[in-house]
Chain A
Amino acid sequence: MRQKVFFTIPYTLWILLFVIAPLVLIFYQSFFNIDGQATLGNYATYLTSRVYLKMTLNSVWYAFLITLVTLVISYPTAYVLNRLPNKQFWLLLVILPTWINLLLKTYAFIGLFSQTGTVNQFLRFVGLGSHQLLFTDASFMFVAAYIEIPFMVLPIFNSLAEINPSLINASKDLGASQWQTFTKVVWPLSLPGVKAGIQAVFIPSLSLFMITRLIGGNRVITLGTAIEEHFLTTQNWGMGSTIGVILILAMFIVMFITGEGRQKGGHRE
Protein backbone atom coordinates (compact mmCIF):
# COMPACT_ATOMS: atom_id res chain seq x y z
CA MET A 1 0.00 0.00 0.00
CA ARG A 2 2.85 2.35 0.82
CA GLN A 3 4.17 2.02 -2.70
CA LYS A 4 0.84 3.14 -4.14
CA VAL A 5 0.80 6.28 -2.00
CA PHE A 6 4.41 6.93 -2.91
CA PHE A 7 3.45 6.90 -6.59
CA THR A 8 0.32 8.92 -6.23
CA ILE A 9 1.85 11.86 -4.36
CA PRO A 10 4.15 13.39 -7.01
CA TYR A 11 1.63 13.07 -9.80
CA THR A 12 -1.24 14.42 -7.70
CA LEU A 13 0.94 17.30 -6.54
CA TRP A 14 1.69 18.09 -10.16
CA ILE A 15 -2.02 18.12 -11.03
CA LEU A 16 -2.84 20.35 -8.07
CA LEU A 17 0.08 22.76 -8.43
CA PHE A 18 0.65 22.97 -12.17
CA VAL A 19 -2.70 22.15 -13.71
CA ILE A 20 -5.42 23.33 -11.36
CA ALA A 21 -3.70 26.15 -9.45
CA PRO A 22 -2.50 28.12 -12.53
CA LEU A 23 -5.94 27.90 -14.16
CA VAL A 24 -7.62 29.06 -10.96
CA LEU A 25 -5.07 31.84 -10.59
CA ILE A 26 -5.49 33.19 -14.11
CA PHE A 27 -9.26 33.22 -13.57
CA TYR A 28 -8.84 34.89 -10.17
CA GLN A 29 -6.36 37.44 -11.52
CA SER A 30 -8.81 38.48 -14.21
CA PHE A 31 -10.95 40.11 -11.50
CA PHE A 32 -8.23 42.51 -10.41
CA ASN A 33 -7.30 45.81 -11.99
CA ILE A 34 -3.79 47.16 -12.43
CA ASP A 35 -3.78 48.61 -8.89
CA GLY A 36 -4.73 45.29 -7.32
CA GLN A 37 -8.35 46.09 -6.47
CA ALA A 38 -11.04 43.49 -7.00
CA THR A 39 -13.27 44.54 -9.85
CA LEU A 40 -15.33 43.39 -12.76
CA GLY A 41 -13.84 46.28 -14.70
CA ASN A 42 -11.62 44.17 -16.92
CA TYR A 43 -14.56 42.28 -18.32
CA ALA A 44 -16.57 45.51 -18.62
CA THR A 45 -13.70 47.13 -20.50
CA TYR A 46 -13.27 44.11 -22.69
CA LEU A 47 -16.94 43.87 -23.62
CA THR A 48 -17.48 47.58 -24.23
CA SER A 49 -14.21 48.63 -25.80
CA ARG A 50 -14.08 48.65 -29.57
CA VAL A 51 -10.35 48.01 -29.50
CA TYR A 52 -10.56 44.70 -27.67
CA LEU A 53 -13.58 43.41 -29.53
CA LYS A 54 -12.07 44.34 -32.85
CA MET A 55 -8.79 42.70 -31.84
CA THR A 56 -10.65 39.50 -30.90
CA LEU A 57 -12.60 39.41 -34.16
CA ASN A 58 -9.40 40.09 -36.07
CA SER A 59 -7.59 37.32 -34.26
CA VAL A 60 -10.41 34.83 -34.95
CA TRP A 61 -10.54 35.95 -38.58
CA TYR A 62 -6.79 35.48 -39.06
CA ALA A 63 -6.88 32.12 -37.31
CA PHE A 64 -9.73 31.13 -39.62
CA LEU A 65 -7.77 32.21 -42.71
CA ILE A 66 -4.61 30.45 -41.54
CA THR A 67 -6.58 27.27 -40.86
CA LEU A 68 -8.27 27.51 -44.27
CA VAL A 69 -4.98 28.05 -46.14
CA THR A 70 -3.37 25.19 -44.22
CA LEU A 71 -6.29 22.90 -44.96
CA VAL A 72 -6.33 23.76 -48.67
CA ILE A 73 -2.61 22.98 -48.91
CA SER A 74 -2.64 19.95 -46.61
CA TYR A 75 -5.62 17.96 -47.83
CA PRO A 76 -4.28 17.33 -51.34
CA THR A 77 -0.86 16.65 -49.81
CA ALA A 78 -2.27 14.00 -47.49
CA TYR A 79 -4.35 12.59 -50.37
CA VAL A 80 -1.39 12.24 -52.73
CA LEU A 81 0.89 10.95 -49.96
CA ASN A 82 -1.58 8.24 -49.16
CA ARG A 83 -1.33 6.80 -52.67
CA LEU A 84 2.46 6.61 -52.75
CA PRO A 85 4.27 3.27 -52.41
CA ASN A 86 6.43 4.18 -49.40
CA LYS A 87 3.87 6.42 -47.79
CA GLN A 88 5.14 6.12 -44.21
CA PHE A 89 8.56 7.36 -45.32
CA TRP A 90 7.10 10.35 -47.16
CA LEU A 91 4.89 11.14 -44.19
CA LEU A 92 7.98 11.11 -42.02
CA LEU A 93 9.54 13.66 -44.37
CA VAL A 94 6.50 15.91 -43.95
CA ILE A 95 6.68 15.63 -40.18
CA LEU A 96 10.45 16.07 -39.93
CA PRO A 97 10.33 19.91 -40.09
CA THR A 98 8.20 19.98 -36.91
CA TRP A 99 11.27 18.74 -35.00
CA ILE A 100 13.16 21.85 -36.00
CA ASN A 101 12.98 24.79 -33.64
CA LEU A 102 10.03 27.04 -34.42
CA LEU A 103 12.06 30.19 -33.94
CA LEU A 104 14.63 29.11 -36.52
CA LYS A 105 11.97 28.42 -39.14
CA THR A 106 10.45 31.83 -38.51
CA TYR A 107 13.88 33.44 -38.59
CA ALA A 108 14.52 31.94 -42.05
CA PHE A 109 11.57 33.90 -43.40
CA ILE A 110 12.97 37.19 -42.14
CA GLY A 111 15.85 36.63 -44.55
CA LEU A 112 13.69 35.26 -47.35
CA PHE A 113 11.10 38.03 -47.23
CA SER A 114 13.30 41.06 -46.56
CA GLN A 115 13.38 44.03 -48.96
CA THR A 116 16.52 42.74 -50.69
CA GLY A 117 15.93 39.12 -49.75
CA THR A 118 15.81 36.06 -51.93
CA VAL A 119 12.10 36.17 -52.71
CA ASN A 120 12.34 39.78 -53.84
CA GLN A 121 15.43 39.00 -55.91
CA PHE A 122 13.42 36.30 -57.60
CA LEU A 123 10.45 38.63 -58.16
CA ARG A 124 12.73 41.21 -59.75
CA PHE A 125 14.32 38.50 -61.86
CA VAL A 126 10.98 37.44 -63.35
CA GLY A 127 10.11 41.11 -63.84
CA LEU A 128 7.54 41.60 -61.10
CA GLY A 129 9.58 44.16 -59.20
CA SER A 130 10.33 44.09 -55.50
CA HIS A 131 7.62 44.40 -52.89
CA GLN A 132 7.32 44.98 -49.19
CA LEU A 133 6.86 41.39 -48.02
CA LEU A 134 7.95 41.40 -44.42
CA PHE A 135 5.54 42.95 -41.92
CA THR A 136 2.47 42.31 -44.03
CA ASP A 137 -0.65 40.30 -43.22
CA ALA A 138 0.03 37.96 -46.13
CA SER A 139 3.53 37.08 -44.97
CA PHE A 140 2.23 36.52 -41.43
CA MET A 141 -0.38 34.08 -42.71
CA PHE A 142 2.07 32.35 -45.01
CA VAL A 143 4.59 31.71 -42.23
CA ALA A 144 1.89 30.58 -39.81
CA ALA A 145 0.49 28.19 -42.43
CA TYR A 146 4.01 26.97 -43.21
CA ILE A 147 4.51 26.02 -39.57
CA GLU A 148 1.10 24.39 -39.19
CA ILE A 149 1.04 22.29 -42.40
CA PRO A 150 2.49 19.07 -40.87
CA PHE A 151 0.01 19.22 -37.98
CA MET A 152 -2.83 19.30 -40.50
CA VAL A 153 -1.39 16.68 -42.87
CA LEU A 154 -0.86 14.06 -40.15
CA PRO A 155 -4.46 13.58 -38.91
CA ILE A 156 -5.90 13.82 -42.45
CA PHE A 157 -3.36 11.28 -43.68
CA ASN A 158 -4.30 8.93 -40.85
CA SER A 159 -8.00 9.13 -41.52
CA LEU A 160 -7.44 8.64 -45.27
CA ALA A 161 -5.21 5.66 -44.59
CA GLU A 162 -7.96 4.07 -42.49
CA ILE A 163 -10.49 4.14 -45.33
CA ASN A 164 -11.17 0.63 -46.51
CA PRO A 165 -10.13 0.48 -50.22
CA SER A 166 -13.03 -1.82 -51.02
CA LEU A 167 -15.40 1.09 -50.29
CA ILE A 168 -13.74 3.07 -53.06
CA ASN A 169 -13.81 0.08 -55.42
CA ALA A 170 -17.49 -0.46 -54.61
CA SER A 171 -18.22 3.17 -55.41
CA LYS A 172 -16.44 2.84 -58.77
CA ASP A 173 -18.18 -0.46 -59.53
CA LEU A 174 -21.51 1.19 -58.93
CA GLY A 175 -20.67 3.71 -61.63
CA ALA A 176 -19.57 6.75 -59.63
CA SER A 177 -17.16 9.12 -61.32
CA GLN A 178 -13.88 9.92 -59.58
CA TRP A 179 -15.31 13.21 -58.38
CA GLN A 180 -18.45 11.51 -57.04
CA THR A 181 -16.34 8.90 -55.27
CA PHE A 182 -14.35 11.68 -53.66
CA THR A 183 -17.28 13.84 -52.53
CA LYS A 184 -19.58 10.98 -51.46
CA VAL A 185 -17.12 8.47 -50.03
CA VAL A 186 -13.59 9.72 -49.39
CA TRP A 187 -14.32 13.21 -48.08
CA PRO A 188 -17.02 12.20 -45.53
CA LEU A 189 -14.83 9.38 -44.25
CA SER A 190 -11.84 11.68 -43.86
CA LEU A 191 -13.83 14.32 -41.95
CA PRO A 192 -12.66 13.17 -38.49
CA GLY A 193 -9.08 13.79 -39.59
CA VAL A 194 -9.99 17.18 -41.01
CA LYS A 195 -11.67 18.14 -37.73
CA ALA A 196 -8.68 16.98 -35.70
CA GLY A 197 -6.43 18.97 -38.01
CA ILE A 198 -8.55 22.11 -37.68
CA GLN A 199 -8.41 21.75 -33.92
CA ALA A 200 -4.64 21.32 -34.02
CA VAL A 201 -4.18 24.43 -36.14
CA PHE A 202 -6.90 26.87 -35.10
CA ILE A 203 -6.08 27.14 -31.39
CA PRO A 204 -2.34 27.79 -31.85
CA SER A 205 -3.20 30.31 -34.58
CA LEU A 206 -5.24 32.30 -32.07
CA SER A 207 -2.39 32.41 -29.61
CA LEU A 208 0.84 32.58 -31.63
CA PHE A 209 2.64 35.72 -30.65
CA MET A 210 6.18 35.42 -31.82
CA ILE A 211 5.26 35.17 -35.52
CA THR A 212 3.14 38.30 -35.24
CA ARG A 213 6.14 40.05 -33.70
CA LEU A 214 8.85 38.80 -36.04
CA ILE A 215 6.97 38.53 -39.33
CA GLY A 216 3.78 40.52 -38.81
CA GLY A 217 5.74 43.48 -37.43
CA ASN A 218 3.13 44.26 -34.75
CA ARG A 219 0.54 44.97 -37.44
CA VAL A 220 -1.39 41.83 -36.61
CA ILE A 221 -2.48 41.61 -32.99
CA THR A 222 -3.78 38.20 -31.99
CA LEU A 223 -5.20 37.19 -28.62
CA GLY A 224 -1.80 35.69 -27.83
CA THR A 225 0.02 38.90 -28.69
CA ALA A 226 -2.38 40.89 -26.52
CA ILE A 227 -1.81 38.58 -23.55
CA GLU A 228 1.95 38.76 -23.95
CA GLU A 229 1.80 42.55 -24.16
CA HIS A 230 -0.36 42.90 -21.04
CA PHE A 231 1.76 40.54 -19.01
CA LEU A 232 5.26 41.48 -20.07
CA THR A 233 5.08 45.04 -21.40
CA THR A 234 2.29 47.03 -19.76
CA GLN A 235 2.26 44.79 -16.64
CA ASN A 236 -1.53 44.90 -16.56
CA TRP A 237 -1.93 41.29 -15.48
CA GLY A 238 -5.64 41.64 -14.73
CA MET A 239 -6.52 42.61 -18.27
CA GLY A 240 -4.08 40.04 -19.65
CA SER A 241 -5.78 37.34 -17.57
CA THR A 242 -9.18 38.50 -18.79
CA ILE A 243 -8.06 38.03 -22.39
CA GLY A 244 -6.58 34.70 -21.31
CA VAL A 245 -9.96 33.61 -19.97
CA ILE A 246 -11.50 34.65 -23.30
CA LEU A 247 -8.87 32.59 -25.12
CA ILE A 248 -9.62 29.56 -22.93
CA LEU A 249 -13.34 30.01 -23.74
CA ALA A 250 -12.50 30.22 -27.45
CA MET A 251 -10.48 27.04 -27.08
CA PHE A 252 -13.43 25.20 -25.54
CA ILE A 253 -15.73 26.42 -28.30
CA VAL A 254 -13.33 25.16 -30.98
CA MET A 255 -12.92 21.84 -29.19
CA PHE A 256 -16.69 21.52 -28.86
CA ILE A 257 -17.31 22.20 -32.55
CA THR A 258 -14.56 19.87 -33.75
CA GLY A 259 -15.28 17.52 -30.86
CA GLU A 260 -15.63 14.02 -32.21
CA GLY A 261 -12.64 14.45 -34.51
CA ARG A 262 -10.23 13.99 -31.67
CA GLN A 263 -11.10 10.45 -30.68
CA LYS A 264 -11.41 9.04 -34.18
CA GLY A 265 -8.93 10.70 -36.46
CA GLY A 266 -6.65 12.27 -33.93
CA HIS A 267 -3.90 10.50 -32.05
CA ARG A 268 -2.28 7.72 -33.94
CA GLU A 269 1.25 7.44 -35.06
Chain B
Amino acid sequence: MKKHHFTWGGLYLALVFVILYAPILYLMIFSFSAGKTMEKYHGFSFQHYADLFADGRMITIVINTLIVALLASLIATIIGTMGALVIKDSRGTWRNSLLSLNNVLMVSPDVIIGASFLIFFTVLGIRLGFMSVLLSHIAFCIPIVVLMVLPKLNELSPTLVDAAYDLGASRWQALSRVVLPAIAPGIFAGYFMALTYSLDDFAVTFFVTGNGFSTLSVEIYSRARQGINLEINALSTLMFFVSLLLVIGYYFISKHSGRRNRIVAVKEGDAQ
Protein backbone atom coordinates (compact mmCIF):
# COMPACT_ATOMS: atom_id res chain seq x y z
CA MET B 1 0.00 0.00 0.00
CA LYS B 2 3.02 2.30 0.03
CA LYS B 3 2.70 3.50 -3.55
CA HIS B 4 -0.55 3.94 -5.40
CA HIS B 5 -0.82 0.56 -7.01
CA PHE B 6 -4.10 -1.19 -7.51
CA THR B 7 -5.48 -3.53 -4.83
CA TRP B 8 -8.88 -5.19 -4.53
CA GLY B 9 -9.03 -3.98 -0.94
CA GLY B 10 -8.52 -0.41 -2.04
CA LEU B 11 -11.17 -0.75 -4.71
CA TYR B 12 -13.62 -2.19 -2.20
CA LEU B 13 -12.94 0.62 0.23
CA ALA B 14 -13.40 3.21 -2.51
CA LEU B 15 -16.77 1.63 -3.30
CA VAL B 16 -17.84 1.78 0.35
CA PHE B 17 -16.84 5.43 0.53
CA VAL B 18 -18.81 6.16 -2.63
CA ILE B 19 -21.89 4.51 -1.11
CA LEU B 20 -21.42 6.36 2.18
CA TYR B 21 -20.97 9.79 0.65
CA ALA B 22 -22.97 9.68 -2.60
CA PRO B 23 -26.37 10.31 -0.97
CA ILE B 24 -25.01 13.25 1.02
CA LEU B 25 -23.31 14.84 -2.00
CA TYR B 26 -26.41 14.15 -4.04
CA LEU B 27 -28.52 16.15 -1.59
CA MET B 28 -26.04 19.00 -1.57
CA ILE B 29 -25.67 19.18 -5.36
CA PHE B 30 -29.41 19.38 -5.94
CA SER B 31 -29.75 22.15 -3.39
CA PHE B 32 -28.12 24.35 -6.03
CA SER B 33 -30.37 23.20 -8.86
CA ALA B 34 -32.81 25.64 -10.38
CA GLY B 35 -35.40 22.87 -10.85
CA LYS B 36 -37.97 21.57 -8.40
CA THR B 37 -37.08 17.89 -8.30
CA MET B 38 -34.08 15.70 -7.56
CA GLU B 39 -34.19 14.15 -11.03
CA LYS B 40 -32.44 16.49 -13.36
CA TYR B 41 -30.00 19.25 -12.63
CA HIS B 42 -31.39 22.51 -14.01
CA GLY B 43 -28.46 24.82 -13.73
CA PHE B 44 -26.97 26.63 -10.77
CA SER B 45 -29.22 28.69 -8.52
CA PHE B 46 -29.45 29.91 -4.94
CA GLN B 47 -33.24 29.90 -5.24
CA HIS B 48 -33.80 27.21 -2.61
CA TYR B 49 -31.60 28.99 -0.12
CA ALA B 50 -33.58 32.15 -0.69
CA ASP B 51 -36.79 30.16 -0.16
CA LEU B 52 -35.36 28.66 2.99
CA PHE B 53 -34.45 32.01 4.52
CA ALA B 54 -37.83 33.43 3.55
CA ASP B 55 -39.64 30.50 5.16
CA GLY B 56 -40.72 31.93 8.50
CA ARG B 57 -41.96 28.62 9.85
CA MET B 58 -38.65 26.94 9.09
CA ILE B 59 -36.67 29.76 10.71
CA THR B 60 -38.78 29.50 13.86
CA ILE B 61 -38.19 25.76 13.94
CA VAL B 62 -34.43 26.17 13.50
CA ILE B 63 -34.39 28.62 16.40
CA ASN B 64 -36.53 26.28 18.52
CA THR B 65 -34.20 23.40 17.76
CA LEU B 66 -31.14 25.44 18.68
CA ILE B 67 -32.68 26.71 21.92
CA VAL B 68 -33.67 23.20 22.97
CA ALA B 69 -30.27 21.76 22.02
CA LEU B 70 -28.20 24.48 23.71
CA LEU B 71 -30.31 24.53 26.89
CA ALA B 72 -30.69 20.77 27.13
CA SER B 73 -27.00 20.06 26.64
CA LEU B 74 -26.02 22.78 29.11
CA ILE B 75 -28.32 21.49 31.85
CA ALA B 76 -27.45 17.88 31.02
CA THR B 77 -23.75 18.75 31.28
CA ILE B 78 -24.23 20.22 34.75
CA ILE B 79 -26.32 17.32 36.06
CA GLY B 80 -24.19 14.75 34.23
CA THR B 81 -20.97 16.11 35.72
CA MET B 82 -22.54 15.95 39.18
CA GLY B 83 -23.61 12.40 38.35
CA ALA B 84 -20.09 11.43 37.36
CA LEU B 85 -18.81 12.84 40.68
CA VAL B 86 -21.48 10.84 42.53
CA ILE B 87 -20.55 7.63 40.69
CA LYS B 88 -16.86 8.27 41.28
CA ASP B 89 -17.48 8.54 45.04
CA SER B 90 -19.62 5.40 45.21
CA ARG B 91 -18.28 1.92 45.85
CA GLY B 92 -19.01 -1.72 45.09
CA THR B 93 -22.46 -2.92 44.06
CA TRP B 94 -23.95 0.55 44.57
CA ARG B 95 -21.52 1.90 41.99
CA ASN B 96 -22.35 -0.90 39.56
CA SER B 97 -26.08 -0.36 39.88
CA LEU B 98 -25.64 3.38 39.40
CA LEU B 99 -23.64 2.69 36.24
CA SER B 100 -26.26 0.27 34.92
CA LEU B 101 -29.07 2.73 35.65
CA ASN B 102 -27.04 5.44 33.95
CA ASN B 103 -26.75 3.31 30.81
CA VAL B 104 -30.43 2.35 30.57
CA LEU B 105 -31.26 5.34 28.36
CA MET B 106 -28.14 4.75 26.26
CA VAL B 107 -29.13 1.23 25.25
CA SER B 108 -32.92 1.62 25.14
CA PRO B 109 -34.40 1.96 21.67
CA ASP B 110 -35.63 5.48 20.95
CA VAL B 111 -39.24 4.38 20.55
CA ILE B 112 -39.23 2.96 24.08
CA ILE B 113 -37.79 6.18 25.49
CA GLY B 114 -40.29 8.23 23.49
CA ALA B 115 -43.32 6.13 24.39
CA SER B 116 -42.44 5.85 28.08
CA PHE B 117 -41.73 9.59 28.36
CA LEU B 118 -45.08 10.27 26.68
CA ILE B 119 -46.84 8.21 29.35
CA PHE B 120 -44.74 9.90 32.04
CA PHE B 121 -45.59 13.45 30.92
CA THR B 122 -49.26 12.58 30.55
CA VAL B 123 -49.39 11.10 34.07
CA LEU B 124 -47.69 14.20 35.50
CA GLY B 125 -49.96 16.46 33.48
CA ILE B 126 -47.11 18.24 31.71
CA ARG B 127 -48.44 19.73 28.50
CA LEU B 128 -46.70 18.44 25.39
CA GLY B 129 -44.60 21.11 23.74
CA PHE B 130 -41.41 23.01 24.47
CA MET B 131 -41.20 21.86 28.10
CA SER B 132 -41.71 18.16 27.44
CA VAL B 133 -39.21 18.21 24.56
CA LEU B 134 -36.63 20.07 26.65
CA LEU B 135 -37.04 17.71 29.62
CA SER B 136 -36.72 14.66 27.35
CA HIS B 137 -33.59 16.00 25.70
CA ILE B 138 -32.01 16.79 29.06
CA ALA B 139 -32.92 13.28 30.19
CA PHE B 140 -31.33 11.41 27.32
CA CYS B 141 -28.26 13.67 27.22
CA ILE B 142 -27.29 13.16 30.87
CA PRO B 143 -25.89 9.62 30.51
CA ILE B 144 -23.75 10.71 27.54
CA VAL B 145 -22.15 13.44 29.64
CA VAL B 146 -21.59 11.01 32.52
CA LEU B 147 -19.85 8.56 30.19
CA MET B 148 -17.61 11.32 28.83
CA VAL B 149 -16.70 12.79 32.23
CA LEU B 150 -16.23 9.57 34.21
CA PRO B 151 -13.03 8.37 32.43
CA LYS B 152 -11.44 11.78 33.05
CA LEU B 153 -12.39 11.56 36.73
CA ASN B 154 -10.90 8.09 36.94
CA GLU B 155 -7.69 9.34 35.37
CA LEU B 156 -7.42 12.11 37.93
CA SER B 157 -4.85 11.10 40.50
CA PRO B 158 -6.37 11.02 44.02
CA THR B 159 -3.10 12.35 45.41
CA LEU B 160 -3.77 15.67 43.66
CA VAL B 161 -7.03 16.08 45.56
CA ASP B 162 -5.37 14.98 48.81
CA ALA B 163 -2.63 17.53 48.21
CA ALA B 164 -5.24 20.24 47.82
CA TYR B 165 -6.81 19.28 51.16
CA ASP B 166 -3.42 19.11 52.85
CA LEU B 167 -2.72 22.61 51.65
CA GLY B 168 -5.89 23.74 53.37
CA ALA B 169 -8.38 23.82 50.52
CA SER B 170 -12.04 23.52 51.39
CA ARG B 171 -14.14 20.87 49.62
CA TRP B 172 -15.46 23.51 47.29
CA GLN B 173 -12.00 24.88 46.56
CA ALA B 174 -10.62 21.40 45.89
CA LEU B 175 -13.48 20.83 43.48
CA SER B 176 -13.35 24.13 41.64
CA ARG B 177 -9.57 24.57 41.59
CA VAL B 178 -8.35 21.00 41.13
CA VAL B 179 -11.02 18.55 40.05
CA LEU B 180 -13.07 20.63 37.61
CA PRO B 181 -10.09 22.05 35.65
CA ALA B 182 -8.67 18.54 35.36
CA ILE B 183 -11.87 17.04 34.01
CA ALA B 184 -12.82 20.09 31.92
CA PRO B 185 -11.93 18.42 28.59
CA GLY B 186 -14.32 15.57 29.46
CA ILE B 187 -17.02 18.07 30.37
CA PHE B 188 -16.59 19.95 27.07
CA ALA B 189 -16.56 16.71 25.10
CA GLY B 190 -19.74 15.68 26.93
CA TYR B 191 -21.37 19.02 26.12
CA PHE B 192 -20.53 18.66 22.42
CA MET B 193 -21.77 15.09 22.31
CA ALA B 194 -24.99 16.06 24.08
CA LEU B 195 -25.43 18.93 21.63
CA THR B 196 -25.20 16.63 18.60
CA TYR B 197 -27.49 14.03 20.19
CA SER B 198 -30.05 16.70 20.88
CA LEU B 199 -29.79 18.33 17.43
CA ASP B 200 -30.15 14.97 15.70
CA ASP B 201 -32.85 13.39 17.79
CA PHE B 202 -35.97 12.46 15.94
CA ALA B 203 -37.79 9.54 17.53
CA VAL B 204 -38.01 10.75 21.14
CA THR B 205 -39.00 14.27 20.10
CA PHE B 206 -41.59 12.89 17.69
CA PHE B 207 -43.38 11.18 20.60
CA VAL B 208 -43.35 14.04 23.09
CA THR B 209 -43.74 17.08 20.87
CA GLY B 210 -47.50 17.53 20.60
CA ASN B 211 -49.01 19.82 17.99
CA GLY B 212 -47.72 23.32 18.50
CA PHE B 213 -43.99 22.72 18.80
CA SER B 214 -41.62 21.20 16.29
CA THR B 215 -37.91 20.59 15.88
CA LEU B 216 -35.93 20.27 12.68
CA SER B 217 -35.90 16.49 12.55
CA VAL B 218 -39.64 16.27 13.08
CA GLU B 219 -40.23 18.97 10.48
CA ILE B 220 -37.98 17.27 7.92
CA TYR B 221 -39.88 14.04 8.56
CA SER B 222 -43.27 15.57 7.95
CA ARG B 223 -42.07 17.41 4.83
CA ALA B 224 -40.30 14.32 3.49
CA ARG B 225 -43.55 12.39 3.80
CA GLN B 226 -45.08 14.83 1.36
CA GLY B 227 -42.30 14.22 -1.16
CA ILE B 228 -39.31 16.07 -2.50
CA ASN B 229 -38.82 19.69 -1.57
CA LEU B 230 -35.49 21.21 -2.51
CA GLU B 231 -35.69 23.59 0.43
CA ILE B 232 -34.82 20.53 2.52
CA ASN B 233 -31.77 20.01 0.32
CA ALA B 234 -30.64 23.55 0.97
CA LEU B 235 -31.21 22.96 4.67
CA SER B 236 -29.23 19.73 4.57
CA THR B 237 -26.26 21.45 2.98
CA LEU B 238 -26.24 24.02 5.76
CA MET B 239 -26.66 21.32 8.40
CA PHE B 240 -23.82 19.34 6.87
CA PHE B 241 -21.47 22.24 7.48
CA VAL B 242 -22.77 22.72 11.01
CA SER B 243 -22.11 19.02 11.68
CA LEU B 244 -18.66 19.38 10.18
CA LEU B 245 -17.93 22.28 12.53
CA LEU B 246 -19.17 20.23 15.48
CA VAL B 247 -16.97 17.28 14.47
CA ILE B 248 -13.95 19.54 14.15
CA GLY B 249 -14.77 21.13 17.51
CA TYR B 250 -15.19 17.74 19.13
CA TYR B 251 -11.94 16.33 17.77
CA PHE B 252 -10.10 19.49 18.73
CA ILE B 253 -11.37 19.07 22.29
CA SER B 254 -10.48 15.40 22.49
CA LYS B 255 -7.04 16.10 21.11
CA HIS B 256 -6.59 18.89 23.60
CA SER B 257 -7.77 16.63 26.39
CA GLY B 258 -5.17 14.09 25.29
CA ARG B 259 -2.39 16.59 25.85
CA ARG B 260 -3.89 17.67 29.15
CA ASN B 261 -3.99 14.08 30.37
CA ARG B 262 -0.28 13.62 30.14
CA ILE B 263 0.25 16.61 32.39
CA VAL B 264 -2.43 15.93 34.97
CA ALA B 265 -2.81 12.19 35.13
CA VAL B 266 0.08 10.87 37.15
CA LYS B 267 -1.40 7.47 37.59
CA GLU B 268 -2.43 5.70 34.46
CA GLY B 269 -4.36 2.57 33.71
CA ASP B 270 -7.17 2.81 36.23
CA ALA B 271 -9.53 4.32 33.69
CA GLN B 272 -12.62 2.15 33.51
30 A-B pairs with CB atoms under 8 Å apart are A14-B79, A15-B101, A17-B120, A18-B105, A18-B120, A18-B135, A18-B139, A22-B116, A22-B117, A26-B115, A79-B9, A81-B13, A84-B13, A93-B17, A94-B16, A99-B200, A101-B217, A104-B27, A104-B220, A104-B235, A107-B220, A111-B26, A114-B38, A118-B39, A209-B111, A214-B221, A224-B203, A227-B115, A231-B118, A232-B206
At the interface, yes or no: A165 with Cβ under 8 Å from chain B? no
Q: Are A109 and B207 in contact (CB under 8 A)?
A: no
B54 CB–A CB distance under 8 Å: no
Interface size range on A against B: 35 or more
Known: A10-B79, A108-B236, A114-B38. 13 other contacts (CB 8 A): A3-B171, A11-B80, A11-B86, A15-B101, A15-B102, A22-B117, A85-B2, A97-B24, A101-B236, A104-B236, A121-B39, A207-B112, A247-B111
Instruction: A84 to B206: give the CA distance in the assembly, Å.
Output: 41
A20 close to chain B: CB less than 8 A: yes
Cα–Cα distance between A93 and B13 once the two chains are bound (Å) = 11
Check: B6 CB closer than 8 A to any chain A CB: no
Encode contact with A along B209-251: 1 for CB under 8 Å, 0 otherwise. Answer: 0000000110011001101100010011001100110110001
Interface residue range, chain B = 35 or more
Tell yes or no: B202 within 8 A of A by CB.
yes
A29's closest neighbor in chain B, by CB?
B119
Using A83-B1, A97-B20 as known contacts, say yes or no to A224 and B119 having CB atoms under 8 A apart.
no
With the chains together, A20 CA to B12 CA distance in Å?
46
Closest to A267 in B: B147
Residues of B within 8 A of A69 (CB): none
Interface centre among B10, B27, B89 (most CB of A within 10 A): B27
Report the bound CA distance from A247 to B112 in whole Å.
8
